[in-house]
């Protein structure tokens, strides 16, 4: 790889971040947003609303839930609660990324500002590549990638709005299918401990059950019940492992 | 106070702003503030993450089993079959997302073309 002759400045690393939009994760996200645009068109969301939602919410599962809630004529507090609960996962993701990109001189206000651009794709992308960026330029690198990725997807939604209606049915259906497959594989691949795998499996199995029982609250119930079951299983396995390693007289260190 | 409550042009944007923007960014801001203070293996954080992951899993399952739009016209067995096989291939191929996504997409396209004749 070519490296700059003199120590590169902040704008160089901002640009390096921007260049990250030419990558597989970014490409998959573009396709997913074409799929979302189709979903928005079919749901009767206007172009301006869809573009605004892309830039302001910037988390596909939350956006899909928001559209579903809005058109299911959910009251504002109910929609807020549903989206809030589905977005809790952003908190640990951000909490994990921040120590990677901050230095002691980084101001909290700058981190609060760039945190808006953290979502699954930018998180996976940054965690993979951040080690090669000098610590003092990491916030700029992330900002370059995150802001470019968000802007490009706002443009895709804006310009694609009229085009997706004209897509052949096979392509339209396939783009809808891309989003769930992208979510499940990218979240699974970026998981750091077993609780994520268990929660994913329990959630996928429970969702259709709760959909039959309580179609309006299926996602909420699946999250709380499924998540708690997954947490219980994870605790149980962890205790078993701790006991097993204690019995074999290993040092009492348990790796997750 | 739902999506269609007010006829004003700004109402949907306010709705998105509260139920979408604030509902997501408050977790991002909290994540910044909590930062490295919360240990990555604390029990509370694992429970929170499990609930969050199960919520997203429910979204994934609903998008495949009860889809909106054109995908609803694809047979249910084709949607589930393509997703399951694509995911299995993803696991076998060293958890590389593009392998699983590519497999699932090829399967559903071929399946759809064959079933519509």
- Say whether B73 and A173 touch across the interface (CB within 8 A): yes
- Say whether A86 and B56 touch across the interface (CB within 8 A): yes
Closest CA to A27 of A222, A184, A197, A186: A186
Claim to verify: residue B22 and residue B55 sit in the same structural domain:
no
Q: What pLDDT score does A245 carry?
A: 83
Chain B residues with CB under 8 Å of A77 CB are 1
Residue range(s) defining the domain that contains residue A196: 192-256
Q: Which residue of B has its CA nearest to A173?
A: B71
Claim to verify: residue A124 and residue A230 sit in the same structural domain:
no
Measured distance CA(A129)–CA(A71) in Å, rounded? 39
Q: Let me know if residue A6 belongs to a domain.
A: no
Whole-number mean pLDDT of chain B? 89
- Say whether A98 and B32 touch across the interface (CB within 8 A): yes
Q: Which residue of A has its CA nearest to B18?
A: A80
Contact partners, residue A151, CB within 8 Å, separation at least 6: none
Q: What ipTM does the predicted assembly reach?
A: 0.82
Claim to verify: residue A151 and residue A38 sit in the same structural domain:
yes
Beta-strand (E) ranges in A43-193? none
More confident residue, A154 or A89: A154
Residue range(s) defining the domain that contains residue B44: 39-67
Pairs across A and B, CB distance < 8 A: 323
Q: Let me know if residue A1 belongs to a domain.
A: no
Number of structural domains in chain B: 3
Claim to verify: residue A101 and residue A209 sit in the same structural domain:
no
Instruction: Give per-residue pLDDT as tens, A169-204.
Output: 888 888 889 888 988 998 898 777 788 899 999 999
pLDDT more than 70, % of chain B: 94
How far B77 CA sits from the closest chain A CA (Å)? 13
Claim to verify: residue B12 and residue B31 sit in the same structural domain:
yes
Measured distance CA(B6)–CA(A127) in Å, rounded? 43
pLDDT at B40 over 90: no
Instruction: Give per-residue pLDDT as tens, B87-112.
Output: 999 999 999 988 999 999 999 999 99
Question: Which domain-ending residue is among A145, A167, A190?
Answer: A190
Claim to verify: residue A177 and residue A234 sit in the same structural domain:
no
Facing residue for B66 by CB, picked from A71, A179, A211 = A211
Number of structural domains in chain A: 2
Measured distance CA(A68)–CA(A74) in Å, rounded? 9
Claim to verify: residue A61 and residue A127 sit in the same structural domain:
yes
Facing residue for B112 by CB, picked from A59, A173, A203 = A173
Helix (H) or strand (E) holding A190: helix A169-190
Claim to verify: residue A197 and residue A146 sit in the same structural domain:
no
Claim to verify: residue B52 and residue B80 sit in the same structural domain:
no
Chain B residues with CB under 8 Å of A80 CB are 18-19, 22-23
């Amino acid at each position: 790889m070519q490296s700059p002759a003199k120590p590169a400045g902040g704008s160089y690393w901002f640009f390096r971040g921007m260049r990250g939009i030419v990558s597989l994760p970014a490409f998959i996200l573009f396709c997913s947003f074409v799929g979302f645009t189709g979903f928005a068109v079919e749901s009767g969301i206007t172009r301006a609303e869809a573009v605004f939602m892309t830039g302001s919410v910037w988390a596909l599962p939350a956006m899909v839930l928001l559209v579903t809630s809005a058109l299911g004529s959910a009251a504002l507090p109910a929609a807020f609660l549903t989206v809030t609960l589905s977005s809790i996962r952003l908190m640990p993701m951000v909490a994990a990324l921040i120590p990677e990109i901050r230095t002691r001189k980084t101001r909290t206000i700058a981190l609060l500002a760039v945190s808006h651009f953290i979502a699954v794709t930018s998180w996976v992308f940054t965690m993979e590549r951040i080690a090669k960026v000098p610590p003092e330029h990491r916030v700029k690198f992330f900002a370059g990638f995150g802001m470019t990725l968000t802007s490009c997807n706002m443009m895709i939604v804006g310009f694609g709005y009229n085009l997706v209606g004209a897509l052949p049915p096979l392509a339209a259906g396939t783009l809808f299918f891309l989003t769930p497959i992208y979510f499940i594989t990218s979240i699974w691949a970026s998981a750091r401990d077993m609780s994520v795998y268990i929660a994913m499996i329990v959630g996928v199995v429970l969702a259709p059950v709760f959909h039959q029982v309580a179609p309006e609250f299926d996602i909420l119930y699946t999250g709380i019940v499924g998540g708690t079951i997954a947490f219980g299983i994870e605790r149980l396995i962890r205790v078993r492992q701790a006991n097993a390693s204690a019995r074999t007289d290993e040092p009492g260190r348990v790796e997750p | 106070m739902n999506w269609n409550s007010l006829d004003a042009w700004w109402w949907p944007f306010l709705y998105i702003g509260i139920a979408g923007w604030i509902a997501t960014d408050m977790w991002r801001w909290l994540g910044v503030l909590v930062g490295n203070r919360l240990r990555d293996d604390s029990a509370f954080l694992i429970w929170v993450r499990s609930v969050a992951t199960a919520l997203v899993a429910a979204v994934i399952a609903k998008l495949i089993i009860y889809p909106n739009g054109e995908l609803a016209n694809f047979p249910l067995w084709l949607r589930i079959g393509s997703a399951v096989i694509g995911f299995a291939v993803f696991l076998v191929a060293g958890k590389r997302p593009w392998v699983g996504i590519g497999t699932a997409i090829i399967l559903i396209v071929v399946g759809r073309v064959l079933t519509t004749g």
